[in-house]
Amino acid sequence: MGRAAWVYGGLVLLAALPPAFLNPYWIDVLNSIGIYAVLALSLNLIVGHAGLFNLGHAAFYAVGAYTAAILNTRFGIPVLWLMPVCAFTAGFFALVVARPIIHLRGDYLCIVTIGVGEIVRIALINDVFGITGGSNGIFGIARPNLLGWVIRTPHEFYYLIWALVGVTVVLFHLLEYSRFGRALNYLREDDTAAEGSGINTAHYKLASFVVGAAWAGMVGNVYAAKMTIISPESFTFWESVLMFAIVILGGSGSIPGMLLGAFLVVGLPEIFRGFANARMLVFGAAMVVMMIFRTQGLLPARPRQYRLPEAGEGEGRA
């Protein structure tokens, strides 16, 4: 316990350092990494833990971002206050669209989620209900104001975004070690056996979608606040593919895997800028090599460790 506390304390300190010596450009790269890390963590619940292929996660991200943008620009509600609202709208949207398709298996579900992602993007371009601003999107989103402190520069956003990463990591770690987290894994392993062991599989499949989507919705809120302008271009199929790639590359079901995956998938192309046009080629080749030699991802999920009571302790009946 003591050792773990030191490790986590060290990590938090390390995370607080970069703004002290990096220029705004690199801080902005770190901010993108943080945003994708949380998106990947949220998608990881669906893909990594519940084993449901979702290639339309950008749709939930978009719903959150547009909720923040619309409510902020029309009604002047402070962006950060809209966090729970964004989580709710994205989660509710996921509930509505996932309900009828949740029984689909593997590749079928995957194709339908791609469709959902495209429908959302095209609906946004078509200025659905006249509130999304069409292909121009929405601009003039107010800067977040945290108890009087207006978050404006990349350096300031760095703390907001990485605080969100930290909170997400802690909560999702706790979730992993719980009845809920285990239930998702049972689905992934064998959903007939899970149902036969008394687990309401339809409920948990849906719950993984709703929780994952709600989290992506919150990231959408932060993204809207950071950019002050959002448009459908930010929520293309490519975004969903990137998130999916982070989950698979980092190691399905593993929290450190998601962080490392975000660093590689978002950060590497920046570092390879020196290769100019060849950078995506180098990046693509690296991914192919990875998937051949390490199919389970870079940091695969490790089995959970339980502290077992000493013999004779506990009050279970058996």
Partner 1 sequence: MSLLSVSRLTKGFGGLTAVSNLTFDVPSGSIVGLIGPNGAGKTTVFNLITGIYRPDQGEILFDGSSIVGLLTHRIVARGIARTFQTIRLFQSLSALENVLAGHHCQMKTGLIGSLLHTGRQRREERKGIATSLKYLEYVGLEGRAAQLARNLSYGSQRLLEVARALATAPKLLILDEPAGGMNEQETTRLVDLIRSIRDRGITILLIEHDMSLVMRVCEKIVVMEYGLKIAEGGPDEIKSNPKVVEAYLGTEHDW
Residue 135 or 178: which CB sits closer to partner 1?
178
Applying CB under 8 A, does 295 fall inside the site for partner 1?
Answer: no
C-alpha–C-alpha distance, residues 189 and 201, integer Å: 12
Q: Which range in 48-56, 108-116, 134-142, 304-312 contacts partner 1 by CB under 8 A?
A: 304-312
CB of 283 to partner 1, least distance (A): 30
3-state secondary structure of 119: helix
**What angle do helix axes 237-250 and 57-75 make, rounded to 10 degrees?**
130
Applying CB under 8 A, does 223 fall inside the site for partner 1?
Answer: no
Applying CB under 8 A, does 211 fall inside the site for partner 1?
Answer: yes
Applying CB under 8 A, does 316 fall inside the site for partner 1?
Answer: yes
Residue 232 or 251: which CB sits closer to partner 1?
251
Applying CB under 8 A, does 182 fall inside the site for partner 1?
Answer: yes
CB of 212 to partner 1, least distance (A): 12
* Helix runs in the chain, H state only: 2-16, 24-44, 57-75, 83-98, 106-125, 154-176, 179-189, 191-196, 201-227, 237-250, 255-262, 268-271, 279-293
Q: How many residues bind partner 1 (CB under 8 A)?
A: 39
Contact with partner 1 (CB under 8 A): which of 76, 100, 140, 303? 303
CB of 3 to partner 1, least distance (A): 20
Q: Which range in 114-122, 192-200, 220-228, 267-275 contacts partner 1 by CB under 8 A?
A: 192-200
CB of 116 to partner 1, least distance (A): 23
Residue 189: burial class (beta carbons within 10 Å; 0-12, 13-18, 19+): exposed
Which DSSP category does 310 fall into?
P
Beta carbons of 301 and 251 less than 8 angstroms apart: yes
Residue 277 or 305: which CB sits closer to partner 1?
305
C-alpha–C-alpha distance, residues 82 and 71, integer Å: 8
CA 147 to chain CA mean position, Å: 26
CB of 165 to partner 1, least distance (A): 16
Contact with partner 1 (CB under 8 A): which of 128, 178, 238, 281? 178
CB of 174 to partner 1, least distance (A): 5
Beta carbons of 58 and 237 less than 8 angstroms apart: yes
C-alpha–C-alpha distance, residues 102 and 191, integer Å: 12
Beta carbons of 181 and 306 less than 8 angstroms apart: no
Applying CB under 8 A, does 76 fall inside the site for partner 1?
Answer: no
By residue count, the chain amounts to: 318
C-alpha–C-alpha distance, residues 270 and 276, integer Å: 10
Applying CB under 8 A, does 257 fall inside the site for partner 1?
Answer: no
Applying CB under 8 A, does 272 fall inside the site for partner 1?
Answer: no
Torsion of CA 90, 96, 101, 105, to 10 degrees: 40
Q: Which range in 111-119, 153-161, 287-295, 299-307 contacts partner 1 by CB under 8 A?
A: 299-307
C-alpha–C-alpha distance, residues 235 and 124, integer Å: 10
Residue 175 or 227: which CB sits closer to partner 1?
175
Contact with partner 1 (CB under 8 A): which of 62, 109, 194, 206? 194
Query: Where along the sequence are the contacts to partner 1 (CB under 8 A)?
Result: 171, 174-175, 177-183, 185-186, 189-190, 192-202, 207, 211, 303-306, 308-309, 313-318
